[in-house]
Structure 1
Amino acid sequence: MTEDRGELPPGLALSWGVQPVQRRGPKPALTIEQIVDTGIEFGDRDGFEAISLQRIAGRLGVTTNAMYRYVRSKEELIVLVHDKAIGLPPELPDGWRAAAIAWVDAQVKQYAERPWLLDVPIRGAPTTPNILRWVEVMLAALAETGLSQHDNLGCVLLLDGWARNYAGLARQLGNREGTPVQAEQVGRFLVPRLVEGGYPTVASLYLNAEYEDELDDDLEFGLARILDGIDVLIGKR
């Protein structure tokens, strides 16, 4: 299918399979799929900053200028790469709460597999097929709650924010270097200063090994509190 993309946002038409109107001339040597797959390859191997028209052109054996026959800008490239790399959501279990847990867990695992997805700029509400499919399945699961469409969309945004926040924290902690906060030498230095400096509650947490820089049940704990809040909202409605 071909269509003039006109004033549509970058990547919107191409993400839905709508190709630009073909002009006279030689048949295109590449496909959008080749370009997008190569971009994902660079992201998986070298991170978000490695995804560029110049590097993809070099890999595919064309000039950077030739890339503009296929995508209008780097922004359009990133939109397409992002949507395909996100992929489709899993099949969710019955019940909105179980569905929400599975939905968030799948997102966190996706970010762990492809942490560079966290670096993709958010420029507005999703409009591309795969990302919208994630929204669709979670909205469908929340439909049973009796909440308004506005509230259901707000719940999806809240769950998405928690998944991104947790995944981003896990990524940073996983990349850290240096001595962990619960190391013996840190305790010898920190505890007396906490006690003497007026941090008795933090000192108690530290001495009970509750204050640490490891993620334990943080994902489940935070998600459960979010779901409890949604439950309260359902009850009020």
Structure 2
Amino acid sequence: MTEDRGDVLPPGLELAWGVQPAQRRGPKPALSVEQIVATGIEFGDRYGFEAVSLQRIAAQLGVTTNAMYRYVRSKEELIVLVHDKAVGLPPELPSGWRAAAIAWVDAQVKLYENRPWLLDVPIRGAPVTPNLLRWLEVMLAALAETGLSQHDNLGCLVLLDGHVRNYANLARQLGASDSTPVQAEQVGRFLVPRLIEGGYPTVASLYLNHEYEDELDDDLDFGLARILDGIEVLISKGV
């Protein structure tokens, strides 16, 4: 008898690791989990995260929504599988923890540029699926040479991941905005005198020197360098 762990393990965990449920009696399945996941990724790439649904995938594949439950238990399970597959495998990282961190961050930024809808996938806990854990594995392996504890290395990784997500979210929102840029001529004519008269001398100086803009410019590299400098201080303390 096959043990049913579906109510114990997180949704999608078994399927993500290739553990298939016991085959039910009846006609041979017309679809596969791989087809369903590939269609879900296609919808995400074309229409965004909200389009990844059992109903839309079923219609695309020519089956009823109820038929989908032969392959995945729920929408939550579908999202877990689609997320892990869409993220894919990380790149091979260079030697040296700092160079590895830069490459790891750059690869994630490119991933979110290509698939910004991944930023909308709910975070329900620590990674447990193969590809997400591989991203974790390669960066933790690089950080292992720092001599820091596993706890601190994991904290460093979470800090890097947070920096990526914050930057990617800002980049997406700014890229999608059709608002008039803050450095537009008409905005300047309105804003500058009010900044000066209203007691905002520091902001006014930033504005006049074109340092106050709604573009990210080198924000990613600047923030990453400060994070890496902080990790180096932690390493030097031998904590």
TM-score category (smaller protein): over 0.9
TM-score (norm 1): 0.98
Measure, in 2, the Cα distance between the counterparts of 1:112 and 1:5. 36
Measure, in 2, the Cα distance between the counterparts of 1:3 and 1:197. 70
- Does residue 1:62 correspond to 2:66, yes or no? no
**1:205 maps to amino acid:** L
**Mapping for residues 62-211 of structure 1, pairs under 5 Å:** 62-211=63-212
Q: How many residues align?
A: 236
Question: Which residue is 1:9 aligned to?
Answer: 10
Unaligned runs of 5+ in 2: none
TM-score (norm 2): 0.97
CA RMSD of aligned residues (A): 0.9
- SS in structure 2 at match of 1:165: helix
- SS in structure 1 at match of 2:105: helix
Measure, in 2, the Cα distance between the counterparts of 1:94 and 1:8. 36
**2:73 maps to amino acid:** R
Measure, in 2, the Cα distance between the counterparts of 1:187 and 1:55. 47
C-alpha displacement at 1:90, in angstroms? 0.4
- SS in structure 2 at match of 1:101: helix
Measure, in 1, the Cα distance between the counterparts of 2:75 and 2:144. 37
Measure, in 2, the Cα distance between the counterparts of 1:92 and 1:211. 35
Question: Which residue is 2:47 aligned to?
Answer: 46
Given that residues 15 and 80 in structure 1 are in contact (C-alpha distance below 8 angstroms), is that contact kept between their aligned partners in structure 2?
yes
C-alpha displacement at 1:3, in angstroms? 6.3
1:179-216 residue CA offsets vs partner (Å, 9 max, x unmatched) = 10000111111011101111000000000000000111
Measure, in 2, the Cα distance between the counterparts of 1:46 and 1:185. 35
- SS in structure 2 at match of 1:27: coil
Given that residues 88 and 134 in structure 1 are in contact (C-alpha distance below 8 angstroms), is that contact kept between their aligned partners in structure 2?
yes
Give the fraction of aligned pairs with identical amino acids, expressed as a percent.
86
Measure, in 1, the Cα distance between the counterparts of 2:154 and 2:3. 31
Measure, in 1, the Cα distance between the counterparts of 2:5 and 2:62. 27
**1:189 maps to amino acid:** F
Measure, in 2, the Cα distance between the counterparts of 1:17 and 1:209. 53
1:101-150 residue CA offsets vs partner (Å, 9 max, x unmatched) = 00000000000000000000000000000000000000000000000000
Moved runs in structure 1, 4+ residues, more than 6 A? none
**2:206 maps to amino acid:** L
1:133-170 residue CA offsets vs partner (Å, 9 max, x unmatched) = 00000000000000000000011111001001100000
**1:155 maps to amino acid:** C
Measure, in 1, the Cα distance between the counterparts of 2:5 and 2:89. 25
